[in-house]
C-alpha cells in the first residue's frame, strides 16, 4: 500500500496522513474493489493460498490422516540426501526444460517472423497449421502411433524397410529414446499463446521504422531483426518468455500419456511426476509439498534470469 | 533513399535478398511439414478401414476411405454404462458455466485494474502476473486439499469454480482495455452521470469484443480438454474427454473408433479458433509485458 502512495501522492506526507489518505482513496473507490473482489477472492483461494499452504505443509509430515507434526527442514534433507530418484528427476527436468523452453521460444519467434510478410489470408492458414497442435487436446497421442513399438509404427516400418534395423525399436519403452521423443512431442505442442502474441506483435510494428533504418545503414534482415524488430516487440518477448518457462516445466502430463508412469528406468521422470507420485498416490503431503516448493523456486529463478537476459536484446 | 529500396507488388521491400527469401521458405516448409504431418495422420487414420490401419508399411493415404470408424464410435457410445449423452452434457455444462463465469469475473476485474485508480491495484496485478509464471499443476496437491475442505470433490463445482479465476483471460483483457479503451470516453460517460458499473458494462465492454472472444476461446479450450479424472470419481459426472480416453484405451479392436473420437475431439477447439482467429490475434497485439 505504501508504495502505491509514493507514486500517487502529489506531495510527501507524514506517516499518519499517508494512512488517512490511503483510507480516503479506498473509500472513494469502493466500486473498484467490488468489481475486483469476486475474481480476487477465488484467485486467492485457488492460486495464492495453495502456494502458501505448500510452503507451510512442506515443514510438516502431513499425510491426510493424522494431525501434522512440525518437522523443520527434514523433508528437504530427505529430498536431497536420500532420494536418488528425486535427483534424477531434477536432472531430467532441467534437461527437458532447458531444451523445450528455449527451442519452443525461438521456434515460435522465428516462425512468426517468417510468416509476417506473407499475404494476410495465407498467413492465417499457416498460423493455423503451426498453432493447431497446441489446442488439439490429446491429438499428440498420434506420435505413439507413428513411433509404435511394433512394425505398424511408421518410424519402425521405414527403418526396417531400408534395412537400418532388423527388429522394431521399442521407442517409448527404451530409456535411450524416451527423453528425446518426449522433447520432440512437447515441441510439437508448444506453439501456443506465445506464438500468437509474437505474430500480433510483429504486425503492430510500424513499417516506416524499417524504411528509416534502411537509410541509416541497416544492411540485412538479420540486423533489422536485432536492432529494430526485437527491441520494438520486447513486451511480447517478455510475455512469451514467461509462458515458455511455465510450459517447459508443465509437460508432465504429455510425458505420462506417452511413456506411462513410471517411465522406463525413470528416464523421463520429472519433478512434476515425483510430485504427483508422492502427493497423489502415496499421500505423503508434507514431502510432496517440499517438492512443489522446490519447483516454485526453480520457476521463479528462471523467470528472473530470463528477464535480465531479455533486457539486453538489441544492445 | 529510393535507389536502395526494391519493391514487391505495391509495397516497399527492404533489405531482402533472394537467397534469404529462399532459405526462409525452405525452413518454413520443413517446420510446417513437421507440424502438419502428424495432424494429417490423425485425420487420415480416422477414415481408414481396419485392414488399412494395420498394414505394413503404414500408409499416409487411404485407399478405401470409410466412415465405419465414426459409426463404430457411436455404437460404442450407445453401449457405455452411463449414457454417452451424459458425458457430453457434463463437458458442455462445465464448459459453458466456466467460460461465462470467467468472462464476467475476469472482465469486471480487468476493467477495475485497467481503468480505475485505487490503492493496491498495482500489487494485485503484479501477483496475477506472477501466477502466470508457474504451471498450475505445481499446486495440484494443495489445490486438492482446499477443494476437499469445501466438500467439492466429486461435484461439478471442483472444476467450474477454480476456472472462474483463471488468470490468462484476465491478463489479456486488462492489457487490451488499457490500450484500446480511451479514458476520455469513460470520463464523458461518468460526467453524464453513469455509475462506474454502468460505464464498464455499456461503454468499455462493447469496445473490447475481441478480448472477450479471446478470453472465451482460451477458457473453452482448457475446459473442453478437461479430463476431470482427479477431482471427480462418479462415472455419471465425468467428461467427454475422459470417456474418449476410455475408448482409446480399449485396445486394438477399438483403434478405428479411437481415431474417429480423437478427430471429433480436436475439431471443436480448432473450428472455434478458426472462426475467431482475427479477433484473437488483435487481442494478442496488446499482450506484451511492460518492464
Shared-domain flag, residues B47 and B106: no
Shared-domain flag, residues B97 and B22: no
Cβ-Cβ contacts under 8 Å, A140 against chain B: 38
Give residue A38's pLDDT.
95
pLDDT digits (tens, 9 = 90+) for B175-201: 999 998 999 999 999 899 888 899 999
Alpha-carbon gap, residue B1 to B174, rounded angstroms: 41
Alpha-carbon gap, residue B191 to A141, rounded angstroms: 57
Give Cβ neighbours of residue B206 (< 8 Å, ≥ 6 apart): none
In a domain, residue A66? The reply is no
pLDDT digits (tens, 9 = 90+) for A216-256: 878 788 888 888 888 888 899 999 999 998 888 888 888 88
Shared-domain flag, residues B140 and B230: yes
In a domain, residue B198? The reply is yes
pLDDT band at A157 (very low <50, low <70, confident <90, very high): confident
Among A206-220, B41-55, B211-225, the range scoring the smallest mean pLDDT is A206-220
List the CATH number of the domain containing B254.
1.10.3720.10
The answer on pLDDT for B4 being more than 50 is no
Shared-domain flag, residues B228 and B261: yes
Joined grid coordinates for residue A45: 483461494
Mean pLDDT of chain A: 86
Indicate which of B120, B126, B180 best probes the interface with A, i.e. most A CBs within 10 Å of its own CB: B120
In a domain, residue B214? The reply is yes
Are β-strands B11-13 and B6-8 bridged in parallel, bridged antiparallel, or unpaired?
antiparallel
The answer on pLDDT for A37 being more than 90 is yes
The answer on pLDDT for B20 being more than 90 is no
Residue A206: alpha-carbon gap to chain centroid: 30
pLDDT band at A16 (very low <50, low <70, confident <90, very high): low
Shared-domain flag, residues A94 and A151: yes
State which H helix or E strand residue A229 sits in. Answer: none
Domain that holds residue A23: 1-57
Domain count, chain B: 2
3-state secondary structure A68-80: CCECCCHHHHHHH
What values do phi and psi take at B165, rounded to 5? Answer: -110, 35
Q: Would you call A35 and B55 a contact, using CB atoms and an 8 Å cutoff?
A: no
Given B39, B67, B95, which residue is the final one in a domain?
A: B67
CB-CB contact of B285 with B178 (8 Å): no
Maximum Cα interatomic distance, chain A, rounded to a whole number of Å: 83
**In Å, how far are A114, B98, B208, B277 from A202, measured between CA atoms?**
10, 32, 21, 16
The answer on pLDDT for A116 being more than 80 is yes
Q: Which residue in chain A is spatially nearest to B196 when comparing CA positions?
A: A31
The answer on pLDDT for A7 being more than 70 is no
In a domain, residue A315? The reply is no
Give residue B28's pLDDT.
92
Give residue A105's pLDDT.
94
Q: Would you call A200 and B45 a contact, using CB atoms and an 8 Å cutoff?
A: no
Looking at per-residue confidence, does B9 or A75 come out higher?
A75
- Residue range B260-282: mean pLDDT, rounded: 89
**In Å, how far are A126, B39, B175, B264, B270 from A188, measured between CA atoms?**
15, 10, 28, 20, 16
Count of CB atoms situated within 10 Å of the CB of B119: 22
pLDDT digits (tens, 9 = 90+) for B58-96: 778 888 888 888 888 888 777 777 787 888 888 889 999
Give residue A1's pLDDT.
40
Domain that holds residue B38: 2-67
The answer on pLDDT for A11 being more than 80 is no
ipTM, 2 dp? 0.87
Give Cβ neighbours of residue B178 (< 8 Å, ≥ 6 apart): B114, B115, B286
Q: Give me the residues paired with residue A70 across strands.
A: A60
- Residue range B158-177: mean pLDDT, rounded: 92
Looking at per-residue confidence, does A264 or A13 come out higher?
A264
Give residue B174's pLDDT.
94
Q: Would you call B14 and A39 a contact, using CB atoms and an 8 Å cutoff?
A: no
pLDDT digits (tens, 9 = 90+) for A49-108: 999 999 999 999 888 788 888 888 889 999 998 889 999 999 999 999 999 999 999 999
- Residue range B223-232: mean pLDDT, rounded: 77
Domain count, chain A: 2
Looking at per-residue confidence, does A216 or A34 come out higher?
A34
Cβ-Cβ contacts under 8 Å, A276 against chain B: 137, 140
In a domain, residue B246? The reply is yes
Alpha-carbon gap, residue B175 to B282, rounded angstroms: 12
Indicate which of A18, A23, A50 best probes the interface with B, i.e. most B CBs within 10 Å of its own CB: A50
Cβ-Cβ contacts under 8 Å, A151 against chain B: 56-57
The answer on pLDDT for B10 being more than 80 is no
Percentage of chain B lying above the pLDDT 90 cut: 35
In a domain, residue A116? The reply is yes
The answer on pLDDT for A4 being more than 50 is no
Q: Would you call B38 and A143 a contact, using CB atoms and an 8 Å cutoff?
A: yes
pLDDT band at A207 (very low <50, low <70, confident <90, very high): confident
The CA-CA-CA angle for residues A30, A34, A39, to 5°, reads: 145
Shared-domain flag, residues B61 and B84: no
Closest to A133 (Cβ–Cβ): which among B35, B122, B123?
A: B35
Cβ-Cβ contacts under 8 Å, A129 against chain B: 32, 35-36, 39
Looking at per-residue confidence, does A244 or B1 come out higher?
A244
Q: Tell me how close the Cα of A220 comes to any Cα of chain B, in angstroms.
A: 5
In a domain, residue A131? The reply is yes
B290 vs A: CB within 8 A:
yes
In a domain, residue A290? The reply is yes
Looking at per-residue confidence, does A84 or B244 come out higher?
A84
The answer on pLDDT for A15 being more than 90 is no
pLDDT digits (tens, 9 = 90+) for A268-281: 898 888 988 888 78
In a domain, residue B38? The reply is yes
The answer on pLDDT for B51 being more than 70 is yes
Cβ-Cβ contacts under 8 Å, A39 against chain B: 105-106, 108-109, 164-165, 170
Closest to B38 (Cβ–Cβ): which among A39, A142, A234?
A: A142
Shared-domain flag, residues B35 and B143: no
Amino acid at each position: 500500500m505504501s508504495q502505491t502512495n509514493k507514486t500517487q501522492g502529489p506531495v510527501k506526507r507524514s506517516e499518519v496522513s499517508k494512512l488517512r489518505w490511503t483510507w480516503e482513496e479506498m473509500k472513494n473507490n469502493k466500486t473498484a474493489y467490488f468489481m475486483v473482489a469476486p475474481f480476487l477472492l477465488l484467485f486467492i483461494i485457488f492460486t495464492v493460498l495453495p502456494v502458501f499452504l505448500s510452503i507451510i505443509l512442506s515443514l510438516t509430515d502431513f499425510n491426510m490422516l493424522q494431525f501434522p507434526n512440525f518437522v523443520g527442514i527434514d523433508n528437504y534433507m530427505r529430498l536431497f540426501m536420500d532420494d536418488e530418484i528425486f535427483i534424477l528427476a531434477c536432472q531430467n527436468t532441467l534437461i527437458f526444460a532447458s531444451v523445450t523452453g528455449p527451442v519452443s521460444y525461438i521456434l515460435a519467434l522465428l516462425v512468426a517472423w517468417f510468416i509476417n510478410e506473407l499475404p494476410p489470408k495465407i498467413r492465417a492458414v499457416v498460423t493455423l497449421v503451426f498453432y493447431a497442435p497446441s489446442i488439439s487436446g490429446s491429438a499428440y497421442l498420434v506420435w505413439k502411433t507413428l513411433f509404435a513399438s511394433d512394425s505398424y509404427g511408421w518410424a519402425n516400418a521405414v527403418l526396417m524397410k531400408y534395412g537400418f534395423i532388423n527388429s522394431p525399436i521399442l521407442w517409448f519403452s527404451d530409456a535411450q529414446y524416451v527423453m528425446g521423443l518426449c522433447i520432440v512431442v512437447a515441441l510439437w505442442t508448444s506453439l501456443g499463446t506465445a506464438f500468437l502474441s509474437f505474430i500480433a506483435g510483429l504486425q503492430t510494428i510500424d513499417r516506416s521504422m524499417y524504411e528509416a533504418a534502411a537509410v541509416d545503414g541497416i544492411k540485412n534482415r538479420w540486423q533489422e531483426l536485432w536492432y529494430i524488430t526485437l527491441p520494438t516487440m520486447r513486451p511480447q518477448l517478455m510475455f512469451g518468455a514467461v509462458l515458455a518457462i511455465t510450459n517447459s516445466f508443465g509437460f508432465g502430463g504429455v510425458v505420462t500419456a506417452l511413456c506411462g508412469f513410471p517411465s522406463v528406468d525413470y528416464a523421463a521422470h520429472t519433478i512434476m511426476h515425483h510430485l504427483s507420485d508422492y502427493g497423489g498416490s502415496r499421500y505423503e503431503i508434507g514431502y510432496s509439498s517440499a517438492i512443489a516448493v522446490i519447483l516454485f523456486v526453480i520457476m521463479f529463478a528462471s523467470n528472473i534470469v530470463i528477464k535480465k537476459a531479455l533486457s539486453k536484446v538489441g544492445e | 533513399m529510393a535507389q536502395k529500396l526494391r519493391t514487391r507488388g505495391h509495397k516497399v521491400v527492404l533489405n531482402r535478398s533472394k537467397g534469404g527469401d529462399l532459405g526462409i521458405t525452405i525452413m518454413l516448409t520443413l517446420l510446417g511439414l513437421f507440424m502438419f504431418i502428424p495432424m494429417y495422420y490423425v485425420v487420415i487414420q480416422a477414415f481408414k478401414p481396419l485392414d488399412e490401419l494395420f498394414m505394413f508399411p503404414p500408409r499416409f493415404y487411404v485407399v478405401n476411405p470409410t466412415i465405419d470408424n465414426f459409426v463404430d464410435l457411436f455404437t460404442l457410445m450407445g453401449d457405455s454404462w452411463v449414457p454417452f449423452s451424459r458425458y457430453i452434457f457434463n463437458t458442455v455444462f462445465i464448459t459453458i458455466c466456466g467460460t461465462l463465469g470467467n468472462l464476467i469475473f475476469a472482465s469486471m476485474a480487468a476493467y477495475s485494474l485497467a481503468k480505475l485508480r485505487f490503492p493496491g491495484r498495482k500489487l494485485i496485478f503484479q501477483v496475477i502476473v506472477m501466477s502466470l509464471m508457474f504451471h498450475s499443476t505445481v499446486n495440484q496437491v494443495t489445490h486438492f486439499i482446499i477443494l476437499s475442505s469445501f466438500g467439492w470433490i466429486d461435484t461439478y463445482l471442483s472444476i467450474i469454480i477454480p476456472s472462474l479465476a483463471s488468470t490468462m483471460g484476465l491478463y489479456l483483457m486488462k492489457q487490451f482495455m488499457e490500450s484500446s479503451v480511451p479514458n476520455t470516453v469513460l470520463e464523458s460517460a461518468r460526467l453524464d452521470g453513469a455509475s462506474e458499473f454502468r460505464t464498464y458494462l455499456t461503454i468499455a465492454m462493447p469496445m473490447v469484443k475481441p478480448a472477450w472472444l479471446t478470453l472465451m476461446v482460451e477458457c473453452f479450450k482448457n475446459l473442453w480438454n478437461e479430463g476431470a479424472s482427479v477431482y471427480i470419481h462418479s462415472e455419471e459426472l465425468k467428461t467427454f474427454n475422459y470417456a474418449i480416453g476410455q475408448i482409446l484405451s480399449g485396445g486394438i479392436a477399438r483403434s478405428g473408433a479411437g481415431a474417429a473420437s480423437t478427430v471429433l475431439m480436436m475439431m471443436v477447439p480448432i473450428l472455434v479458433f478458426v472462426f475467431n482467429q482475427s479477433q484473437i490475434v488483435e487481442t494478442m497485439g496488446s499482450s506484451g509485458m511492460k518492464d
